[in-house]
Amino acid sequence: MTLNAALRLMAGTVILASLALGYTYSENWYYLTGFVGLNMLQSAFTGWCPAVTIFKMIGLKAEQCSVDGMTVNQGVHMIAGILILGTTSAVVLMDMPQEILFATAVIGASLLQSAFSGWCLAFTISRLIGFKDTTAAS
């Protein structure tokens, strides 16, 4: 498993868990969902999030981009981060109905499954708007 796949796996799992906890116990759990979205967005630009250090310590490798420009993984992080932050903020800050978070759950499930399949809609969108493909590092 690559570093980026592990990040998507962890992000999807935390998103779905925090949404379930927020719906079941306390809406305060939605702040964790928002934190994941914020982390995904900032990691698209910085290439780092708190989990990266741990994943590197256990030996996971990042993919390499053979050309200049932003990678598809960065595009996925941007798209997911913006959508997660948007839906979570709408519920937490603007008191919108919790049903909006269904979209966030779909994003979390998509990130989770993409860790295993290597595909989600955000990959296709990222490629279409010009983000570059990566290859596994050796």
For the chain, the average pLDDT equals 86
Q: With contact defined as beta carbons under 8 Å apart, do 16 and 108 qualify?
A: yes
For residue 30, pLDDT beyond 90? yes
Does the CA dihedral 74-75-80-81 come out positive or negative?
Answer: positive
The answer, yes or no, to whether residue 25 has pLDDT greater than 70, is yes
pLDDT, mean of residues 66-90:
83
Average pLDDT over residues 63-82: 76
Higher-confidence residue: 27 or 74?
27
Q: What is the pLDDT of residues 87-135, one digit of tens each?
A: 999 999 998 999 999 999 999 999 999 888 888 888 888 888 888 776 6
Q: Is the pLDDT score of 20 beyond 90? A: yes
Q: Could you report how far apart the first and last alpha carbons of the chain are, in Å?
A: 13
Q: Is 111 exposed, middle or buried (0-12, 13-18, 19+ CB in 10 A)?
A: buried
118, 15, 63, 68 alpha-carbon torsion, rounded to 10°: 100
The whole-model pTM stands at: 0.86
Cβ neighbours of residue 89 closer than 8 Å, sequence gap 6 or more: 34
Q: pLDDT grade, residue 47 (50/70/90)?
A: confident
If pLDDT is split at 50, 70 and 90, which confidence band does 138 have?
Answer: very low
| Residue spans per domain, the chain | 3-136
